[in-house]
Structure 1
């Protein structure tokens, strides 16, 4: 009876993961297609569109790996866990997830610099140069920061594969300890950097919005102007990304304790939590971006 209930619960979780994946594919695919079509027409891409396109591409790859690995794990768990497919999938997942997080971080910084205005020297130096810095920061993050992250993930995979052939509780405990020992320092370093950048941008953005609203009230102008609405859109984007990123970090760190996953329910729980960021946040990006929102409304009206 317990096994039957577990199977039914796993089916429900698999359905939820499937819905999340559909949302992720549609949302990120929409961002890629719209910006790609605009790039083909004008033969150039603005930094904001470049960040959104790269973010959508990495998240599309991220969700594809999650669904493929879960499908293979259900169909043939023994073959999947003992083959190189799990190692390759884990390496691709760690790279796409790390690249996606960095893209989201620099997108938050770009939105913040573009919308706000401060009298600080560093901000005044950064504001006119942000368009040129975005491609460089993006390329630096995708190569220098993301590749070592994926390489560490592959080292964990290779070790787990060798230890997985051993028997006994001692080997399993050694496997879990090794995963956290080799992967956690790099993982938490990236988490600290990204969360610090996003949190700083969010706090400064809220300060800028508060100052702007206060000045409007003092001058007797209506508070709902274009600049205030732009502030609110960016605040929604930054805070939602920060929330889903923290949720991803917790879920990913937890999932290291049972890789490759022996329990399908635990694996589904982890994948559902990991998939919230590329699915829900992509919809928020579409709704808070005027160009993407306009195209989305136009398509929905046609259909």
Structure 2
């Protein structure tokens, strides 16, 4: 268990620095040409939205760690802990949904089928991208708003033996009163994750099909771009699996604040924004080229 205040602040600062640096870089690079072109491609619109949401999530998580370390008496007040929790719920849910739309968009984009449904999706998704992002944030905000009056903080003491001495720690967890906002959040997040998982599996299948074709067209630049897109979404899938599992463990109250398991889940969630930024940069040729020019 991380009990040392200095270690907690160091970890929080390191995660915050990496997350803000990576996602901030993405936001700046994508927004820079907008001043002249006044347009954003559908994929860049999703990446920009995801990075912006992750910046907010990283700030909330860093502030949560700093408050709990430097001002524990204030942090342990229910209203303060609830604010951090609900803001994190809003941003985490938004991030998961936007990741889902990014995965679905890439799936539709690399699908070569001429089926009427596929061609309809290929023409429709770029047009509704802004509405999908707005709807994701609105739905997540509604989930969090439901929890304002519904969830409450419950605490209990746990005694254990360490080095022959009896030790007591205080465990904190949030519970729902009647409208079950935590379980609603878990259900909606599960739907988003299932869609994301299925679309990512579709990309893996499409990637395998393209890999077989590349034997006869190894120099095809289009295939190389499709491979990079598929690799990016596959990596994003692995990050989202860990992110979703950590969220589910917290919401289902399978881990409690004050335990090692809770700390590991928070570390996993704190790593997600920086991991996502790294994946997005490595999977986007423009972002990668600009970064290479800066350092090489």
> 2:166: which partner in 1?
none
C-alpha offsets along residues 46-89 of structure 1, whole Å, 9 cap, x if unaligned? Answer: 22222111111110000101010110111111211215332222
Partner of 1:203: 201
Task: Compute the TM-score of the two structures, normalised by the length of structure 1.
Answer: 0.81
Q: Report the secondary structure of 2:268's partner residue.
A: helix
> What's the counterpart of residue 221 of structure 1?
217
After TM superposition, the score normalised by the length of structure 2 is 0.83
Give 1:88-127 correspondences, 5 Å limit: 88-127=83-122
Match of residue 194 from structure 1:
192
Cα RMSD of the aligned pairs, angstroms, is 3.0
Q: Which has the higher contact order (CA 8 A, sep 6+)?
A: 1
User: Which one of 246, 250, 267 corresponds to residue 245 of structure 2?
Assistant: 250
Range with bigger deviation, 21-30 or 234-243:
234-243
Determine if contact 1:241/1:281 at 8 Å carries over to the other structure.
yes
Give the distance between the partners of 2:191 and 2:171, measured in 1 at CA. 30
Residues 195-232 of structure 1, C-alpha deviation per residue, up to 9 Å, x if partnerless?
22222222222222222232343xx332x532332232
1:124-166 Cα shifts (integer Å, max 9, x gaps): 11112221021121222221x2122212443455x22xx56xx
Larger fraction in strand:
2
Shift of 1:266: 5.5
Shift of 1:12: 4.5
Q: Name the one with the larger helix percent.
A: 1
Q: CA deviation at 1:254?
A: 2.7
The equivalences for 1:19-30 within 5 A come to: 19-30=14-25
Between the aligned partners of 2:32 and 2:2, the Cα distance in structure 1 is: 45
Structure 2 residue runs of 5 or longer lacking an equivalent are 159-169
Q: CA deviation at 1:100?
A: 1.2
Identify unmatched segments of 5+ residues in structure 1: none
- Number of residues paired by the alignment? 284
Question: Which digits, 9 at most, give the CA deviation of each residue in 1:272-303, with x for residues without a partner?
Answer: 110222111211101110111121112223xx
Q: 1:104 deviation in Å?
A: 1.2
How has the CA–CA distance of structure 1 residues 95 and 178 changed in structure 2, closer, same or farther, with 3 Å as cutoff?
A: closer
Whether 1:31 aligns to 2:26 is yes
